[in-house]
Amino acid sequence: MEAVRPIEIKDVEAARGRIAGTVLRTPLVKLELGPESPEIWLKLENLQPTNAYKIRGATNAVAALSEEDRAKGVWTISAGNAGQGVAYAAREFGVPSTVVAIETAPQTKLDRMRALGAEIIPVSYQDAWKIAEAHAYPGLDGTLVHPFDSYDFIAGHGTMALEILEDLPEVKTVIAAIGGGGLVTGVGSPIKALRPDVKVLGAEPETAAPYAYSIEQGSPQWFPDWKASFVDGAGGKSVTERMWQRMRPVTDGTITVTLDQTRQAMRLIAEKTRTIAEGAGALALAAALTGQAGEGPIVCIVSGGNIDLDKFAELVAD
């Protein structure tokens, strides 16, 4: 297991070069909400080829492997978005991929991983979290591309921060959903290195807010009374010691939102941008709309849009 170390700008710049032919530079779109609302901009990562930001980290991580390690095939643990990212990157390099997938993942995500050539091994959420913490799964001989606790995976996500700072130099706050913590660490690291005045905040659902609970307790914790919800791409069961070490220096806290606030944010994104955000993808906007992030300019990362359409329609219906 690699040592935990700060993400360096030079490695984020190198990642930008590696992923340029595969990953989109996504648009930053201003939400027009009227004079009473904060100034909010949306970073639409739901427009990536896999409809989620994870393709940034996955592509960089697979590209950074030695040819020998890549030739063994790659595997990851995922509720869907990391799996799609790793499978997409593996296909680009012509190597096999396996996803240890949370069995309750939306069918849309499972189908897309299979369509990209991934072999699926279904496991329970509890087992998936244990595998993620152990960095191992008995019987799998390929090279693990960890979905959040990986230097190269996180550095790939950092490319998003470079785009945000270039497109909106006056940004005051950036908000990112927290699942395992790779996204907020990836985005927060370049921002704190280049613009330490910019706040970096997490966003978590009330049913699964281990980072908020860990900050309150002063150490990495398992979240009491964790509940599954439609926010399947974020809201982990715990903050691992390794991710606690990564997140704390580059974040300024986190905002906890209700499932109803998240659902309303999904609807607002659809109304204003005509794009679909899954539950995790709408967490950042839900957090910004609480007012706890200030007046802005705030950039909310719409991290993904992989959700069954029937489920989406049900959630955003009045």
| 97 catalytic per annotation | no
In whole angstroms, what is the distance from residue 122 CA to residue 120 CA? 6
CB burial class (10 A; 0-12, 13-18, 19+) of residue 273? Answer: middle
In whole angstroms, what is the distance from residue 166 CA to residue 315 CA? 34
In whole angstroms, what is the distance from residue 299 CA to residue 317 CA? 26
Do 314 and 263 touch, CB atoms closer than 8 A?
no
CB atoms within 10 A of CB 2: 11
163: tokens are 């785009």
In whole angstroms, what is the distance from residue 231 CA to residue 222 CA? 18
In whole angstroms, what is the distance from residue 207 CA to residue 227 CA? 5
| 78 catalytic per annotation | no
CB atoms within 10 A of CB 169: 9
The total number of residues shown for the chain amounts to 318
* Per annotation, catalytic residue among 30, 43, 54, 66: 54
* Per annotation, catalytic residue among 97, 150, 214, 303: 303
Report the greatest alpha carbon distance in the chain: 57
Strands 28-31 and 40-44 come out as antiparallel
Q: Which residues are catalytic?
A: 54, 303
